[in-house]
Amino acid sequence: MEEEKTIPEVVLNSGQKMPMLGFGTGTVPLPPPHVLIPAFMEAIKVGYRHFDTAAYYGSEEPLGEAIAQALDQGLIKSRSEIFVTTKLWCTEAHSGLVLPALHRSLQRLGLEYVDLYLIHFPVRLRQGAKGTKYGKEDILPLDMKGTWEDMEQCSKLGLAKSIGVSNFGVKKLSQLVQNAIITPALVQVEMNAAWQQENLRKFCKEKGIHVSAWSPLGANGAVWGSLAVMDSPILKDIALKSGKSVAQVALRWIIEEGATPIVKSFNSERMRQNLEIFDWELSESDSEKIKQIPQHRGFKGERFVSEFGPFKTLEDLWE
């Protein structure tokens, strides 16, 4: 029996512990449950304890099923061993709709609480707007104060042990923090060696907000993804020199920067490799070299921009 890897934990400002590596469950197109459930169970088997889902992904139900089966089979002893993050979709980012949305997520997950609940985007869509096929008139200004008060309610009721946001830039985060009673525990953003998010991380450090990184390898399988990370000559060079894979170097860099990568691979071999980033370090000169990698955002989010909506430019959306 191979020994599963234990993943170090970070303590969030809510006092909750979170494993420093997350397993992402959102992918397009989403494989059917009979493919997903065994993949999630395999991830639990090899040592993942932090799973990231969202109402929008459609993966809450298979994830819940995998956790239930893992308990049945004794892969884990109790629900508390798994850290589950889910997210509020933009059509429910309305004051009064947050709590019911979380209840539906919990129902799909088959859980009594989630460990972390995030606002998925700093965007509100008209109720009933479907998928990515909504019209520009469906994009509404976010009632940040009202929505966050509802998120705080989820926390007070114990339905979410920690609350936070996703895809918020510095400007929106500071706006949120000004009005918040409960400071967000975490912000999840696109972050990798080719999009390092330095300003945001500096801001979060000052405010005690943890950063987690989606697309830590540049999402090279996604429509909007790129090979900026996996084909980086700098990362290839460091990988060759240290006897690691490019992915391992890229993930290790995120860990050393104090952020939590959310990895996504349903391939058992790669799942294992992605775990092997905790027992070695990058040299100082390697870290310096990584800072030289040309920077560009992968996911642009054009679909949220409209001359009639709250975000007239991409800058408005991400700032």
48, 57, 113, 134: the active-site residue: 57
Are residues 183 and 207 in contact, defined by beta-carbon separation less than 8 angstroms?
yes
- Beta-carbon contacts of residue 298 (< 8 Å; ≥ 6 apart): 190, 192, 194, 195, 215, 218, 219, 222, 224, 225, 226, 228
DSSP structure class, residue 192:
B
Are residues 124 and 141 in contact, defined by beta-carbon separation less than 8 angstroms?
yes
57 is catalytic: yes
Residue 235 corresponds to which tokens in the numbers above? 């990362």
CA distances (Å), 155 to each of 51, 64, 72, 73, 90, in order? 19, 20, 28, 31, 19
Residue 120 annotated as lining a ligand binding site: yes
| Beta strand spans in the chain (E) | 9-11, 17-19, 22-24, 50-52, 83-88, 114-119, 124-125, 139-140, 160-166, 186-190, 210-214, 260-263
Query: What is the full DSSP assignment across 23-34?
Result: EE---SSPPPHH
Cβ-based neighbour number of residue 75 at 10 Å: 16
Integer Cα distance of 134 and 190 in angstroms: 23
The SS3 call for residue 123 is coil
Residue 237 corresponds to which tokens in the numbers above? 């060079």
The SS3 call for residue 53 is coil
- Beta-carbon contacts of residue 289 (< 8 Å; ≥ 6 apart): 234, 237, 238
In the annotated binding site for substrate, the residues are 120
Catalytic residues, which ones? 57
In the annotated binding site, the residues are 120
